[in-house]
Each structure stands twice: as C-alpha cells, then as structure tokens.
C-alpha cells in the first residue's frame, strides 16, 4: 500500500482553513437586531433568514458533497469552490444593500459554500497520517470554534457602524482561499494492498456472513437520540441567533455585548472540552443527563434573570458584560446543544443505563 504524501506546515494549515468558515452562516447573529431596525418594512422572520437560510441550504449540499468528494469531484475542488462561494456570498450583501432579495440570494451562495466544506473530516481521514488524524480533527474543531468566537465581538463592533458593515467580516475568507488554492494537496488514492490468501479470504467472508445477521441492540435508542437532538437543537438556535434582539428588548446590552456573549459561550465550551475526559469519568453513564440539566439551568437563568449581576469566574473576565448569558456559556459544551424538558432528561437517562 502506498504511503500518504508528506505534508508540510502550510499543507496542514490549508486543511484547517476549511474549518474557519464552516459556521459562516451564523456569524451575523450579533447583528440581527441592527438589521431588524434597518429594515422595519420586513418581518422579523424574513430578516432572520440572513442566518437561518445559509444553515438550511448547507445541509443538503453537505450531504451531496460528502458522497461525491474524492470520487466524482476532488476534495481540492470542494475546498476552493466552496471558499469562493463563501467569500462572494458573504461580502456581496455589503454592496448589494438595496434589495433584501439579493441579500438572501448571496446568503444562499454562502450556504452552498459552507456545504462544500462538509467534506473536511473525510479530507483529514484520507490525507493525514494515521497517528495525526485524531489530533487534526480536534484542531479543526478548535479552529471552527475560534473563528465563531472571534466573529461575535467583531461583528458586534461592525454592527455599531452600520447594519451592512458586519458582512465585511467575511473578507477574512481571502486567507482561507489562498491557503486552499496554493497549499491544499489532494489525497492520494490507495492503489492496492497485498493480496489475501484463500484461507484469509474465506475467514473474511465468514465473518461478514456472521456479522450480517447481527442486529444492533442499541439501534432504536440511537434513532430516538438523534430525533431528540434534532428537535432540541432547533429549539436552541433561535436563542443564540436572537441574543442581540433579546438584549435590546431587555435594554441590557448592545450588539457588541451580544457578540461578547457569543464569544464567552464558545470560550467556555472550549475550556470545558479540555476537561471533558475527567467529567466523563466522574459522571459515567449519567454524563448526558448531567450536562443537559446544567444546560437547562443556564438557559432558565438567561430567560428569568436577564439582569443577573456579574458572574465571577477565574476564566471569565468578559462575563461582567453579558448580563447572565455567560451562564449558558459555562454550562453549554459545543456538542451538548439541548434545552431539555424533564421528559427529555428522563429519556437520556434511560438511554445511558446499561
């Protein structure tokens, strides 16, 4: 079997750059209230499509490119073409600011570009040496979270200039485009391996035959788990995207403060991930119920205590500005996006029992 190409630092940087704008559809969250005020003739739902439409479009595109990348189309094409769409679709609304329909058209292009970046983990698996795959996937997740964290306060500052200025944040995609254009290597295809002997082939066939009749006893639980995660993620997203509107309605913060709240949310999610293994060891099979309960408490404090005094924590020097939202940041790991009712908590508790 052929060895994978030797990758340089810039090659790895090019791979990681694909993660930077993977959450590009949500970067305008802190500017939502500013846009709503700038377009009073439009419904709030129509204005919120600035963030919801790219996410909606990116899902089917990601599924499609995930099936075609590496076979029908190259990973490199997906990365370059997707980044171009993110750049054009992300920045163009700043210039085409007279028509909301045109703005949504460009946001659709951005969503398509984000969908093309859905092959990022597959790219790592097929191009990075075995001993570095896990680390690279972790670095990629960190890069995606870091970019979203930076976007919050920066977009908030730009929203203080004008409603359309936040779209200029997407100009940073130029750096990702340069990296993937000049330094992203297409993974080598595996040309073959040592042929199996007759006995080995029979053993493989026998194992497959035996495995084919086995059923996964956890199958139904996984399906219910996925359904719950889907429903509860949809319940959470309006809270994150509507934080600027919420702060304005409660008169507790500006777009910049809404951006800071997003920054803190991501920051504490990353910090909690650093000790995630210890948390799993402590809570064991009750990990998900515990985290979901903690998250629910945080969400309740955001809703019912919107003028909560500063939360003093060793890591949270920005928390005094966000009036309660840091609680959601502290309790919300990036991979635990749930707002749970008691029935959902009981369901997860049952699923975790052996």
| Res. 8: pLDDT tops 60 | yes
Find residue 73's DSSP bridge partners: 69
pLDDT of residue 207: 52
In this structure, of 97-106, 119-128, 170-179, 340-349, the range with the lowest mean pLDDT score is 340-349
| Res. 298: pLDDT tops 60 | yes
| Res. 136: pLDDT tops 90 | no
Task: Decide which of 298 and 309 is more confident.
Answer: 298
Task: Decide which of 189 and 24 is more confident.
Answer: 24
Digit-coded pLDDT (tens) for 65-94? 888 888 889 999 999 999 999 999 999 999
| Res. 56: pLDDT tops 50 | yes
Report residue 293's pLDDT band, with 50, 70 and 90 as the boundaries.
confident
pLDDT of residue 61: 92
pLDDT of residue 349: 46
Helical pair 120-127 and 75-91, crossing angle rounded to 10 deg? 150
pLDDT of residue 91: 96
Find residue 69's DSSP bridge partners: 73
Task: Decide which of 287 and 104 is more confident.
Answer: 104
Digit-coded pLDDT (tens) for 92-131? 999 999 999 999 999 999 999 999 998 998 899 888 888 8
DSSP notation for 315-343:
T-TTGGGSTTHHHHHHH--TT------HH
DSSP notation for 190-239:
P---PPPPHHHHHHHHHHHHHHHT---TTHHHHHHHHHHHHHHHHHHHHH
- Phi then psi for residue 73, to 5 deg, are -130, 155
Task: Report residue 195 CA to chain centroid gap.
Answer: 41
CA distance 320 to 325: 10
């Amino acid at each position: 079997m052929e060895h994978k190409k030797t990758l340089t630092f810039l090659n790895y940087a090019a791979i990681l750059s694909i993660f930077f704008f993977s959450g590009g559809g949500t970067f305008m969250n802190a500017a939502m209230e500013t846009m709503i005020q700038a377009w009073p003739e439009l419904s709030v739902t129509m204005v919120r499509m600035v963030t919801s439409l790219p996410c909606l479009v990116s899902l089917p595109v990601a599924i499609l490119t995930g099936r075609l990348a590496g076979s029908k189309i190259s990973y490199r094409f997906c990365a370059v073409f997707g980044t171009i769409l993110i750049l054009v679709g992300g920045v163009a609304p700043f210039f085409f600011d007279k028509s909301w329909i045109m703005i949504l058209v460009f946001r659709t292009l951005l969503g398509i570009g984000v969908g093309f970046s859905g092959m990022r983990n597959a790219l790592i698996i097929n191009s990075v040496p075995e001993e570095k795959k896990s680390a690279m996937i972790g670095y990629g997740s960190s890069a995606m979270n870091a970019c979203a964290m930076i976007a919050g306060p920066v977009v908030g500052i730009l929203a203080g200039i004008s409603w359309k200025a936040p779209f200029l944040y997407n100009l940073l995609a130029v750096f990702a485009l340069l990296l993937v254009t000049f330094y992203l290597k297409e993974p080598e295809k595996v040309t073959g391996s040592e042929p199996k002997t007759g006995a080995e082939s029979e053993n493989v066939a026998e194992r497959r035959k035996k495995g084919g009749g086995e059923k996964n006893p956890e199958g139904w639980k996984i399906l219910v788990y996925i359904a719950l995660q889907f429903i509860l993620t949809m319940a959470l997203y309006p809270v994150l995207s509507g934080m600027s509107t919420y702060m304005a309605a409660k008169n507790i913060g500006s777009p910049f403060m809404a951006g800071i709240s997003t920054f803190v949310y991501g920051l504490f999610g990353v910090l909690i991930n650093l000790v995630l293994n210890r948390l799993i060891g402590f809570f064991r099979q009750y990990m998900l119920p515990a985290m979901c309960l903690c998250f629910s408490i945080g969400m309740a404090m955001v809703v019912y205590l919107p003028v909560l005094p500063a939360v003093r924590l060793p890591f949270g020097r920005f928390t005094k500005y966000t009036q309660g939202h840091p609680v959601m940041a502290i309790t919300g790991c990036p991979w635990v996006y749930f707002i749970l009712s008691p029935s959902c908590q009981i369901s997860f508790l049952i699923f975790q029992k052996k």
